[in-house]
Amino acid sequence: MKKLSDLEKLKDLLDDFYKVDMEHYESIEHRVKFFTYRKNEVIRKKGREENEVNFIMEGLAGITLNNRLRRVYPPQYFAMDLASFEKQLDSNHEVVALQPCRVACCSRDNLEMILPNMEGFRILYERVVAHTESWERFWTEIDGLPYRSAWRMVREKLRGEVGKLTQKQLAQLLDISIRTMARIGTDPGERTSDRTSMVLHKGFPLRDHREREFIKGSLDAWRTYFFVPLNTEAARTLGEMKMDFLVGRLYPLGNEERVAWAGRVISLLTAIDVFMYQVPLRERSKYWKEVKTWIDPGLRTRTQSDVPVRGQAYVTAVKDLFNEISMDAEGVELLSALIGDYVGGRDWQFIHYPIETESQIREYERQRQRFSEGKLCMQLLKIVYREQWRELRPHQGFLEAYMEMGSNLVRLSNEILAVDTVVFGNLPHNLVPLKSRAERKDSKRVVRELMEAYGEERELMNALKEKFFAERPNEARNGMSAFLELMEGQVAAWETWYRTILMHARKTN
C-alpha cells in the first residue's frame, strides 16, 4: 500500500473543511513546511509574536500561560495564539507538544502570497480559522462554570484525547487541584452518553456575531417588555436557554439589529412553547385555542375575534415584529407564512398528545417536516440577509433544496440530542421516546436510526452542492459560497447550543 506523503495527508485532513485539487496543493508545496515535535517540546516560545499558522496533523498540542495548561488542540486545529497572529503582538502564551506531534506550518508571508490569489485556499483557510475560533470559544465558555459541569464538557469535547492527558494537565485546564481532579475523574456517575459522543456537524463553519452583547441586551429587554406568563420553573427554563448564544451563531454576520429581530421572533415562539408545556395536558387545548388567534394575524383576521386584555401583549409583540425592520412585501408574506406554519404544527401536536400509535408517529414526523425550529431559522435567513438572497434569486430552486436539507439535519440532530438535555427535562414531544414506545424499539436503536438518517441527508446535501458547483464553477465568486456557509453554520449552531447550553445548564457541583 502506498505511503501517503505529508502533502497528501494534509489534503486528506483539510478536505473535511473544503476540497481543493491536489494540483493546487502541489503548486504551494514550497510554501508549507512540516515538522515533528517530541512530547513536551516547545513549538513556539512565549514572548514572541505568532507569525506562523501551525496546523496539527497528528498528536496533541497545547497552549500554556505561566506554565499552566489553558488549551488543548487535537488534529485539524490551528495550535496558536490567534489574537497574537491577527494583531501582530507578542504572545504571553507558549505552544507545546503534549504528545509527539506532526505539524504543517505556513508563515504569514507565505499566506499573504497564497490567499489573495487562490480562492479555494482562501475559503479553506477561513473555515479552519472559524473551526479553531469555535474551539477557543468553548474554552472561554467553560471558565467560571462549576467544575463538574466543566469536566463533563471537556471530556465530551476531547473524547479519546482525555486519556492522553495527565491528571495534572486536566486539573490545570479546569483550574482545580489535582486532588479534586482525581476525585471527579473516578466518579462512576460521571459517564457521557454514547449518543452525544459524535460531533455531527464536523466540517460545517461555526461563527459567532461580534455584537453578541448588543444582541443579548436586545433579547433580554424585549423578553421583559413583552412577557409571556410563566410560572417560576418555566421562567427559569427560558432564562437558562441563553437564546443569545444560539442566535449569535445562527446569524453570525451582518446588521446586528436584523439579527436581534430574528432572535425576537425565535424567542417569542420559544416562550409560547415553554408556556404551553407548563399547562396541564387536559387544559392545554383550551389555552392554545386563544393563544393561537393572538399570534397569527391571518387567523385573527379570519375569525374577526376581539382580543381580551390578557392577549394584548401577544398581539402587540407580533405586530411590532412585522414593523420593526421595514420588511418588504415578500418578507411580510414569509413571516406570516412561518407563523401560520408554527400554529398549524402546534395545533396538531396539542390536539393529538399523547402520541401513541405508529400512524400518529408518522403524521407527527410529517408535521415536523412542514415546520420545525430549524426550518424557521433557516427561512429567516431570507429576511436577515435579504440583499444577498435577492442577488441569488436566479438559483432559488437550488437554494431552497439546500435549505430544506439543512433544516432536516437540524431537526434530526435536535431529536438525537434532546434526549440528554437538562434544561427541558422530559420533553413531551421528543421523537426518541415516542418512537421507542409506539414502535416497541429500544431507544438506542431509535437513536442509531436517526443518526443513519442524518448521515444519509448529509451525503445528499454534499452531493447537491458538488453538482451545482461542477455545473457552474464560477458561482463561488458571486456570493453563493458565503450564503451556503450561512446555512451550514446553522446546523453547527444548533448542535453547539444543545451541547454547550441545554445539556449542561442545571448540573451543579
Which residues 6+ apart lie within 8 Å of 191 measured at CB? none
Residue 422 has pLDDT above 90, yes or no: no
Residue 425 has pLDDT above 60, yes or no: no
pLDDT of 286? 85
Q: Once rounded to an integer, what is the mean pLDDT over residues 283-290?
A: 86
Q: Once rounded to an integer, what is the mean pLDDT over residues 220-249?
A: 80
State percent of the chain over pLDDT 90.
Answer: 40
CATH homologous superfamily for the domain 6-141? Jelly Rolls (2.60.120.10)
Instruction: Name the average pLDDT for the chain.
Output: 85
Report residue 305 as a C-alpha cell: 375575534
| Number of CB atoms found within 10 A of residue 345's CB | 19
Counts for the chain of helices (H) and strands (E), in that order:
23, 7
pLDDT of 300? 66
What are the domain boundaries of the chain? Answer: 6-141, 143-192, 195-502
pLDDT of 192? 44
pLDDT of 244? 93
pLDDT of 191? 45
Q: If DSSP codes are grouped into helix, strand and coil, which group holds residue 111?
A: helix
Instruction: Find the range with the poorest average confidence among 271-275, 344-348, 418-422.
Output: 418-422
pLDDT of 227? 66
pLDDT in tens, 85-120: 988 999 999 999 999 999 999 999 999 999 999 999
Q: Residue 452 belongs to what H/E stretch?
A: helix 443-471
Report residue 462 as a C-alpha cell: 454534499
pLDDT band at 228 (very low <50, low <70, confident <90, very high): low
Q: Once rounded to an integer, what is the mean pLDDT over residues 420-447?
A: 72
Q: Once rounded to an integer, what is the mean pLDDT over residues 56-80?
A: 93
pLDDT of 353? 66
pLDDT of 494? 94
pLDDT in tens, 133-164: 888 888 887 776 778 878 888 887 787 777 78
pLDDT of 305? 65
Residue 189 has pLDDT above 50, yes or no: no
> Which is it for the CA torsion 452, 454, 458, 464, positive or negative?
positive
Task: Look at 184 and 213; give whichever has higher pLDDT.
Answer: 213
Residue 302 has pLDDT above 80, yes or no: no
Beta bridge partners, 78, equal 55
pLDDT in tens, 44-54: 999 999 999 99
Which residues 6+ apart lie within 8 Å of 68 measured at CB? 172
Two domains, one topology: 6-141 and 195-502:
no
The CA-atom distances, in angstroms, between 336 and each of 268, 306, 366, 373, 400 are: 14, 20, 21, 16, 18
pLDDT of 358? 78
pLDDT in tens, 247-271: 999 999 989 999 999 999 999 998 8
Q: Once rounded to an integer, what is the mean pLDDT over residues 342-369?
A: 79
Residue 473 has pLDDT above 80, yes or no: no
- Name the class of domain 195-502: mainly alpha
Residue 434 has pLDDT above 50, yes or no: yes
Instruction: Find the range with the poorest average confidence among 242-246, 352-356, 406-410, 449-453.
Output: 352-356
Task: Look at 271 and 235; give whichever has higher pLDDT.
Answer: 271
Residue 433 has pLDDT above 90, yes or no: no
Range from 370-374, 439-443, 499-503 that averages highest in pLDDT: 370-374
Which residues 6+ apart lie within 8 Å of 144 measured at CB? none
Task: Look at 350 and 121; give whichever has higher pLDDT.
Answer: 121
Task: Look at 9 and 359; give whichever has higher pLDDT.
Answer: 9
pLDDT of 144? 65
pLDDT in tens, 374-404: 999 999 999 999 999 999 989 999 999 999 9
